[in-house]
Structure formats: structure tokens, C-alpha cells
Amino acid sequence: MTDLPKRYVALGDSFTEGVGDTDERYPNGLRGWADRVAEQLAVGNPEFRYANLAIRGRLLGPILDEQLAPALALRPDLVSIYAGGNDIMRPKFDVDAVVDRYDTAIAQLTRSGARVVMFTAYDTGWSAFFGKLRGRLAVYNELVREVADRHAVTVVDFWRFREYQDLRMWDWDRLHMSPAGHQNMAVRVLDALGVDHELVPQDLGPAPVLTKAENRREDRQWTRDFLVPWFARRVRGTSSGDGIVAKYPELIQPTRH
């Protein structure tokens, strides 16, 4: 990237809001990869401004309904968007309809003149529970790559990032990235943009080896603390994002805390 962007707007769900990267110094008590990227883009770039409209739990439709027009109104020259992950986890999922709508939104963003960054979804094949979605994810990702090719946008291909097979890259819920995962994603995004930066992936050292009993205990705790409440929200028709507002709905000058 020859010229650094002046206005970066991040759109999406929990992935972009920063869930899993807890830091009470930041709005919503979260930092996340997008904040880390913005902080790097601000280095030596005093005119740089950043907005993050992402809200956890949002399906693709609400992301576009609630975030697309406000994003365009901010006149960004760089936009990142990840949407569709929560749709994939619903029992009924029309991948063609979801990606068709995504395609229309990407066309709007590129027509504005902004550089657009999209993401594929992660390969969950290692997970006994989320691995059941692997086929859906693979089809969704291939359609996303087609959209990206059609509109000549940048793809951060999460599906191919093997380092995320280390469970320490994930938060306790096994769904959202840990601080180390968010740091690594920020590096991946900045590298995809071709931006010089100061970030390096966190050195986690050798992965711990758990006994079968320890694995069973962790699985039971995960089922109790994450899976049961997650299913309960599906039954009630509620979302983890209910009552949550965007971290940075207006352009701000990012600062490292």
C-alpha cells in the first residue's frame, strides 16, 4: 500500500468488535484486532481516523441494514467487513441468498472508492462441535472468494491460517479469538494491506499436553458455561448483542493505551 488510509471503518460482528480480547481501557471492555490495526495505521499518519461499527451476535442482514449506510456516510478510504458467521450457525442457512446480499453490499462499498478487506471463515475441522459446520463454511468461503475476485477486493483468508489450530489462539468459549488470536489477526490484516508495522505474533511457546481426564473436564465446563447458554439464547430468540452499542460509531483518532 503506497499511501496510508486516512479513514478506516470496520464493520461486522463479534469478530471485529473484539470479543475475546478483554481490555477495560477500551469501549465495551474490548480491544480486538481492528483496534490494533487502526493503532498501527495511525503511526506517522496524523490525519488518520477510525470507526468501528461492529456489534456481536449480528447476522449478515442486520450488519448491512445497520452499519452499511453509516459507514458510507463517514467517507472511508479503507473498509473491513466480516459478516455471515452467525448465519452459518443457524439451523436454516441459505448460503446463496446470504452471499448474494453480501455481494451487493461489497459493490456499494467499492463504488464509494474505498479499499475493501473481506475475510473467509475459519476451518473448524478440529472441533468436535463446530466441525459439523465445516461443509457449510467451505461453500461459504468459496463464494466469498468469488465475490472478492469480482470486485477486486483484498481477502484475508482465515480458512488457511493453520496457527489457529492452537487452542490458545481462542478464548474460553472456543468461538472467539483470544488476545493472542486477535494480535495474530492484526498482523495478518496489516500484512495483507502491505503496511509496514510494529506488531509481531505473540510467542506462546510449546502447547500444553492435557490428559484425557483434563480434556473431559474442560469439555464439561465448556458445555456448561458456553453451549447451554448459547442454545438457550437460540430458544428465546435473543442475542449476545442485545443492548450493545458500537465501540466507535464516529471517527476517532486511535491511541494505544
Examine the pLDDT at 138 and tell me if it is beyond 50. Answer: yes
- Segment 218-237 shows an average pLDDT of 72
Q: What is the mean pLDDT of residues 217-230?
A: 74
Output the pLDDT for position 47: 96
Work out the mean pLDDT of the chain and round it to a whole number: 92
Work out the pLDDT band at 212, boundaries 50, 70, 90. Answer: confident
Q: Which of 21-30, 45-54, 61-70, 208-217 has the lowest mean pLDDT?
A: 208-217
> Is residue 167 over pLDDT 80?
yes
Q: Would you state the pLDDT for residue 3?
A: 82
52 pLDDT above the threshold of 90: yes
What mean pLDDT is predicted for residues 108-135? 93
- The percentage of the chain sitting over the pLDDT mark of 90, rounded to a whole number, equals 75
Greater pLDDT, 81 or 126? 81
Instruction: Give pLDDT, residue 1.
Output: 45
What global pTM score does this model have?
0.91
**Crossing angle of helices 179-193/33-41, nearest 10°?**
40
pLDDT at position 211: 79
Instruction: Reply yes or no on whether the pLDDT at 235 is more than 90.
Output: no
Return all residues near 131 (Cβ < 8 A) that are at least 6 apart: 124, 125
